[in-house]
Amino acid sequence: MGKTTYKRLKGSQSFRQRLLLSTLSSTPIIIDEIRADDMIPGLLRHEMSLLRLFDTVSDDCVVEVNETGTRLKYKPGIIMGGKNLVHNCALTRSMGYYLEPLLLLGLFGKKPLSIRLRGVTDDPKDPSVDTFRNASLHILKRFGVPSEGLDLKIEARGVAPEGGGEVLLTVPNVQTLTAVQWVEEGMVKRIRGWTFSARVSSDFEHSMRFAARGIFNNLLPDVHIFNDHKSGPQAGKSPGYGITLVAETIEGCYISADTTVSCGRTDETGEVDEEKQERKPAEDTGVEIASWLLQEIEKGGVVDSTHQGLLFILCALCQQDVSKVRVGPLSPYGVETLRNLKEFLGVTFSFRPDPSTATVVLTCVGSGLVNLSRKLS
């Protein structure tokens, strides 16, 4: 064994992607100056939780963090996958934060992955679990991921701040991903929605559904919004409600928009949280998300702006063949992803703006990542 050479990085930005790409490309990394000048320096709770998650699904990975948490040394191991794994997510971020890297790690594992995540299922910051189930998984199927064994079951809802939700994710293994030519968005043929309410009245859901349908019904006939009212242990520990909308086009693109409203709790002194006083009515939430979905559709592209990062990573991990995809205006997260892919996998994308539709066509040659650890049947 020779001496391990580490790739040196600085700062706390795109921590999750750096870990993911480091693991997939087997590149050991050292990250210095993680929030060194902040009031609370070092890694945050959800970042430590993410490190533990990577440790759970892989074997032989080495993690060293200094006392203040401002320096991380990470040497990736072999992605094992496996059944009956459990991970308790930190409650500062919802499961959407952990699910995106997990999907990609699971594909390149030694065994199919089956993991139970516990914590906050929905929050306004990350994509909701409904978005993952009804939009993100379809994107993976485009790249040749088999649909059997690819599933996300929502067993209990959990809203911030207390969480208490639970989902079961299963991901099959692949040998390689297939390159895609995916530039046609097509017209929207149907809109599906999912609302949920936990520990609050189901009237919130009716208001959101009524308001969202009021906008869509003028535009297309096939609109259906399902409701999911949870009570008892399945409702988690905090009250809240949320809505996820997904538009499906004739070309098989899935465009999504979602949000969650966490109903503020009264603290021990009996004072109401500020958030509770400022909360807007549920109808407004329905209208807002319906309008946001229409904006995402208007921007064009085969995925919405929250899924750009996932799409680019999948293109870069494909076999050594040309992938071509169309997206709307690049989101900051998408741009960050492109930079990280160049740094870790050496994959550069070429851009061709399309002024007539205000979209961008990106082309790249995949890095040809092969799953060497998978047992060949």
- Mean pLDDT per 10-residue section of the chain, whose length is 377 residues: 85 95 96 93 95 95 94 95 95 95 96 97 95 97 95 95 95 96 96 96 95 95 95 92 97 96 60 58 96 96 97 96 96 97 96 94 95 69
CA angle (290, 129, 122) in 5-degree steps: 75
What is the residue-wise DSSP string for 7-43?
EEEESSTTHHHHHHHHHHTT--EEEE-SSTTSSS-S-
Q: What is the pLDDT of residue 265?
A: 56
Contact 167, 98 (CB under 8 A): no
Residue 181 neighbours by CB distance under 10 Å? 11
The CA distance from 54 to 19, in Å, is 8
Distance of CA 251 to the CA centre of its chain: 22
Q: What is the pLDDT of residue 4?
A: 84
Handedness of CA 249, 252, 253, 254 (dihedral sign): positive
Q: What is the pLDDT of residue 243?
A: 97
Give CA separation, 43 vs 9, 32, 293, in Å: 14, 11, 34
Phi first, then psi, for residue 297 (nearest 5°) are -65, -40
CA nearest neighbour of 108 among 133, 85, 78, 83: 78
The first and second tokens of residue 343, run together, are: 């740094």
The first and second tokens of residue 220, run together, are: 């297309």
Residue 149 neighbours by CB distance under 10 Å? 14
The CA distance from 17 to 108, in Å, is 16
Q: What is the pLDDT of residue 372?
A: 81
Place of tokens 């906008």: 215
Q: What is the pLDDT of residue 376?
A: 57
What does DSSP say about strands 350-354 and 188-198: parallel, antiparallel, or unpaired? unpaired
The first and second tokens of residue 243, run together, are: 């809505």
Give CA separation, 354 vs 104, 349, 358, 375, in Å: 30, 15, 6, 44
- Crossing angle of helices 45-57/95-107, nearest 10°? 20
Q: What is the pLDDT of residue 292?
A: 97
182-202 b/e with 16+ CB inside 10 Å = b? bbebeebeebbbbbbbbbbeb
Place of tokens 């699971």: 106
Supply the pTM of this predicted model.
0.94
Q: What is the pLDDT of residue 269?
A: 39
Nearby residues of 157 by Cβ (< 8 Å), 6 or more positions away: 121, 122, 165, 196, 198, 228, 230, 234, 235, 236
Q: What is the pLDDT of residue 240?
A: 94
DSSP structural state of residue 5: P
Amino acid identity, position 366 = G
Q: What is the pLDDT of residue 272?
A: 44
